[in-house]
Amino acid sequence: MSDKYLEFANSKLGRSIVSVLGLPKPPRLIREDSNNPHYLSGNLLCGTTTGALYGTQINQSLGATEVNFVSEEAESCHLVFDASGIRSTDQTTELYQFFHNNLAKLPRCGRVVIIGQQPSNIDNVEHAIAQRGLVGFMKSVAKEIGRKGATANLIYLNGFGHKGLAAPLRFLLSAGCAYTNGQVITLTTPVTDIIPEHHWQQPLNGKSVVVTGAARGIGLAMSQVLARDGAMVIGVDVPQSKEQLEKAMSELDGIALALDITAEDAPQRLIDCCAQQEEKLQAVVHNAGITRDKMLSRMTEQQWQLLVDINIGSIQRINHALLATQMLDQGGRIVGVASISGIAGNLGQSNYAYSKSAVIGMVDSMAPICAKRGITINAVAPGFIETKMTAAIPFATRQFGRRLCSLSQGGLPEDVAEVVAFYLSPQASGVNGNTIRVCGQNLMGA
């Protein structure tokens, strides 16, 4: 459903009315060009603190792009700041100065990326405190620049290792990060070697990926974006949606598998289907999910059980069966779809919030197990995304829900899909155990 208020606020007449009345002004976001995905260009100003660790790696990570590294004299530029040198809270002057002097230079839909060290991995208390402060700083910057459609995010590196910086840095500077705002991506030791020669535009060439709930909404967008990135998509959806699924998959040269993921034989049927393909299985994206909203006192046991089984139980069974094979070993990816309701809780969604919180728990607890087998597991937690699910929300609540984030609008299904594409990239093997909110920095649970 289109956001009519966004259209109005960006029209000639609307702009002045919205200004006079002091109403929210949702900016038009710039998204990936499907004909030229992952293309990076524009001016970039890099700043560092004294003793920063990753300056050279930033330049290397952005090699073979059209990014133009500029000096402070530039009038318009994206900003990357390596804050890894901050070892105590009295060493933050350079951080302040860099953003104080340059934040106004961000173009419309500009990008800010800050790089720091993960506090929980730092032994020195002063150092850990100083690095932790970056989260609050980055989130406040994100709020300040949101009205321009710009985003700010933070990459935490683990220890002194910089391996794998390229994938998150490139993603956070790209148009694919249009609705990913105010987030922290934590890098770990890569679970497999990072291939130095990498085809950034078609990273999934020759790989197959499973997307559940692929007939419509976010799952359909994921299938389209992953096919754009070269993947052969195996789309799964309930038998009732078979026709819709087959149509969607035929347009992507993918495979349609009409299957209820809660069925007893679902894990085996999925494995059999993957085994029949020529392409190696790269990933399973557990997107299928439902809502059954009711106040807890009125919720039937059936509404509870059905939802929990679809949104988390079946996912656990599929993971278990897949890991019993070696199909995903050495390079595979598992992605869960959580929700900001699973982070903040939501009125009338105790069943849904339970299941989505459990998805985050699955990522946290399985990440070390998967890492040993060269697999990563991560989740996305969408906020308000424009789909059939959110179109069913009553008008006033829907308008309110859209404006509740720093970008003053709902996200599109492809915004969630772009984060999944980033997780699936072979270069992202140092991204494990993360839950990234795709919510435009929604206030819920922030």
Cβ closest to ligand NAD, residue 98 vs residue 423: 423
The site map against ligand NAD for 293-332 (x = CB under 6 A) is: -----------------x----------------------
Q: Is 443 exposed, middle or buried (0-12, 13-18, 19+ CB in 10 A)?
A: middle
The size of the interface with ligand NAD (CB under 6 A), counted in residues, is 28
Give yes or no for residue 27 binding ligand NAD (CB under 6 A).
Answer: no
Q: Which residue, among 80, 91, 82, 93, has the nearest Cα to 55 in the 3D structure?
A: 82
Give yes or no for residue 440 binding ligand NAD (CB under 6 A).
Answer: no
Shortest separation between residue 407's beta carbon and ligand NAD, angstroms: 14
The amino acid at 26: P
Binding segment for ligand NAD (CB under 6 A), chosen from 30-38, 117-125, 194-202, 382-390, is 382-390
342 CB neighbour count, 10 Å cutoff:
27
- Which region holds residue 51: left if phi is over 0, alpha if psi is between -120 and 50, else beta? left
Cβ closest to ligand NAD, residue 62 vs residue 256: 256
From 5, 156, 352, 423, active-site residue: 352
Binding segment for ligand NAD (CB under 6 A), chosen from 106-114, 118-126, 137-145, 385-393, is 385-393
Distances in Å between the Cα of 344 and the Cα atoms of 181, 290, 352 are: 17, 18, 12
Cβ closest to ligand NAD, residue 181 vs residue 387: 387
Cβ closest to ligand NAD, residue 47 vs residue 289: 289
Shortest separation between residue 289's beta carbon and ligand NAD, angstroms: 2
Which residues ranging from 221 to 250 are in contact with ligand NAD (CB under 6 A)?
A: 236-238, 241
Contacts of residue 409, Cβ cutoff 8 Å, sequence gap at least 6: 3, 6, 26, 29, 402, 403, 440
Give yes or no for residue 255 binding ligand NAD (CB under 6 A).
Answer: no
Cβ closest to ligand NAD, residue 241 vs residue 351: 241
Residue 352 falls in the annotated catalytic set: yes
Shortest separation between residue 373's beta carbon and ligand NAD, angstroms: 25
Instruction: With beta carbons less than 8 A apart as the criterion, state whether 385 and 420 touch.
Output: no
Give yes or no for residue 387 binding ligand NAD (CB under 6 A).
Answer: yes
Q: Which is it for the CA torsion 381, 383, 387, 392, positive or negative?
A: positive
Which residues ranging from 336 to 355 are in contact with ligand NAD (CB under 6 A)?
A: 337, 339
Which residues ranging from 109 to 168 are in contact with ligand NAD (CB under 6 A)?
A: none
Give yes or no for residue 435 binding ligand NAD (CB under 6 A).
Answer: no
Residue 412 phi/psi, 5-degree rounding, is -105, 155
Give yes or no for residue 389 binding ligand NAD (CB under 6 A).
Answer: yes
- Angle (CA) 57 368 56, round 5°: 5
Instruction: With beta carbons less than 8 A apart as the criterion, state whether 428 and 164 touch.
Output: yes
Cβ closest to ligand NAD, residue 261 vs residue 334: 261
Give yes or no for residue 384 binding ligand NAD (CB under 6 A).
Answer: yes
Q: Among 49, 212, 409, 442, which residue interacts with ligand NAD (rule: CB under 6 A)?
A: 212
Q: Among 382, 426, 433, 440, which residue interacts with ligand NAD (rule: CB under 6 A)?
A: 382
Give yes or no for residue 390 binding ligand NAD (CB under 6 A).
Answer: yes
Cβ closest to ligand NAD, residue 42 vs residue 345: 345
Cβ closest to ligand NAD, residue 53 vs residue 337: 337
The site map against ligand NAD for 256-295 (x = CB under 6 A) is: ----xxx------------------------xxxx-----
Tokens standing for 409? Answer: 């609008």
Shortest separation between residue 418's beta carbon and ligand NAD, angstroms: 14
Q: Which residues are catalytic?
A: 352
Q: Which residues bind ligand NAD (CB under 6 A)?
A: 212-213, 215-219, 236-238, 241, 260-262, 287-290, 310, 337, 339, 382, 384-385, 387-390
